Amino acid sequence: MTQQQLSVPLRNLIKAMEKFREIESELTIPGALTLLYAVEAQTQLDIEKKLKFSNASTSRNVAGWTNIGKNPGKPGHDYITQTIDPSDRRQRLISVNNKGMAFLRSLEEILETPSSDPNNQDALN
């Protein structure tokens, strides 16, 4: 019986997920998606609707990517900037800052990198 091999895109996906784990070892998929969706979102509510999460869950996930953090006494990653919407103080405007965009560009590089050796199992080691 021959051993199954992961495709290059799946190996690159594993590498990208490992890059997220370097930042936060217990990061959840919704937590990672929060950062990814924040690139195109304008408000926290946009992310809430996209992820179909409660306001509280979305707030915690967004806070983890801001400088505030989601746990008392532990600062966030400072990848998202969050401000109060001056036209509706109940809303939070969000944007991915330069630090966050640099991280996302590093993910793009990983995902766009072709493998020269299809038998290379670095993504699994």
We report the CATH number of the domain holding residue 54 as 1.10.10.10
pLDDT value of position 116 = 52
Confirm whether 52 is domain-assigned: yes
Regions of the chain short of the pLDDT cut 70: 1-3, 115-125
Confirm whether 1 is domain-assigned: no
In sign, the C-alpha dihedral spanning 96, 42, 84, 52 is negative
Query: What angle (nearest 5°) sits at the alpha carbon of residue 27, between those of residues 67 and 68?
Result: 15
Confirm whether 57 is domain-assigned: yes
pLDDT value of position 59 = 92
pLDDT value of position 1 = 44
pLDDT value of position 12 = 93
pLDDT value of position 102 = 97
Domain carrying residue 77: 8-111
pLDDT value of position 120 = 47
